[in-house]
């Protein structure tokens, strides 16, 4: 995948610069992605997410592809999804007001040989229309995004595509768990004192500062 396509996909998944497609899994394209923020524990969620919510994907639409799609007949086609916020399970601060509906960029499609192959990030699930999820969301200057693709909790017993199923143990433990129990687990999650001292910083800057201080 060229740098333009990689950067668009990273916008959707909050990942690092090495994102690239690696395999065609059935009708899906599975892509590598380096997450910018941790999402393996509930402490990670409350450290870097702005909200945790139950959502339904109400719509999806293609966004304008890069010029390589027209020039080469192959390339990345970005996607936007509409989310209905069904229930707020946690909010980081009183200033965070997500509203009843959100629109955000998500992994889209790889266009090749006249076909649009849906892309999912390896180790994470793809947000699919008419499906329900629990997601930790981050509000960036450019809009909302999931904390990490691996942090998407599907309401389905198992993911529709095996290679797109989350390998995050926290995510697996939250499937089918009622809202009251999730709220309790969030409330009981240990808070990171270093993170809390830097709560005013944007999430990626907050994480980088905390990690940098611990490496000294």
- Partners of 120 in the beta sheet? 30
| pLDDT given at position 158 | 55
Which residues of the chain fall short of a pLDDT of 50? 1-25, 159, 161
- Looking at residue 208, its pLDDT comes to 96
pLDDT at residue 163, as a whole number:
56
| pLDDT tens, residue by residue, 115-153 | 899 998 888 889 999 999 999 999 998 899 999 999 999
**Cα–Cα distance for residue pair 108/105, rounded to 1 Å:** 8
- The angle formed by the CA atoms of residues 48, 138 and 147, to the nearest 5 degrees, is 70
* Element containing residue 45 per DSSP (H, E): helix 42-48
Annotated domain spans of the chain: 3-215
> Which residues, in sequence order, are bridge partners of residue 153?
134
Instruction: Give the model confidence (pLDDT) of 94-121 as tens digits.
Output: 888 888 999 999 999 999 888 899 998 8
- DSSP reduced 3-state for 73: coil
Residue found by looking up tokens 């999820």 in the block? 133
Question: Do 11 and 105 contact (CB within 8 A), yes or no?
Answer: yes
pLDDT score for 5 = 38
The predicted pLDDT at position 109 comes to 93
pLDDT of residue 157: 59
Q: Which of 18, 7, 41 lies closest to 148 in space, CA to CA?
A: 41
**How is residue 46 annotated by DSSP?**
H
147: left (phi over 0), alpha (psi -120 to 50) or beta: alpha
């Amino acid at each position: 995948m060229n740098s333009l396509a990689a950067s668009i996909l990273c916008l959707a998944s909050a990942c690092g610069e090495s994102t690239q497609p690696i395999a065609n899994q059935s009708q899906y394209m599975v892509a590598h992605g380096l997450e910018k923020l941790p999402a393996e524990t509930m402490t990670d969620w409350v450290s870097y997410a702005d909200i945790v919510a139950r959502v339904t994907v109400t719509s999806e639409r293609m966004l304008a592809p890069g010029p390589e799609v027209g020039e080469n007949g192959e390339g990345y086609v970005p996607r936007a999804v509409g989310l209905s916020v069904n229930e707020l399970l946690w909010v980081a601060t009183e200033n965070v007001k997500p509203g009843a509906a959100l629109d955000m960029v998500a992994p889209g499609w790889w266009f090749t040989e006249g076909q649009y192959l849906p892309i999912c990030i390896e180790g994470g699930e793809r947000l699919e229309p008419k499906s329900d999820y629990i997601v930790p969301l981050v509000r960036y200057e450019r809009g909302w995004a999931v904390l990490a693709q691996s942090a998407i909790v599907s309401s389905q017993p198992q993911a529709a595509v095996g290679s797109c199923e989350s390998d995050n143990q926290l995510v697996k433990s939250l499937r089918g768990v009622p809202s009251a129990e999730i709220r309790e687990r969030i409330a009981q999650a240990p808070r990171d004192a270093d993170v809390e001292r830097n709560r005013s910083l944007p999430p990626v800057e907050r994480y980088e500062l905390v990690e940098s201080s611990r490496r000294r």
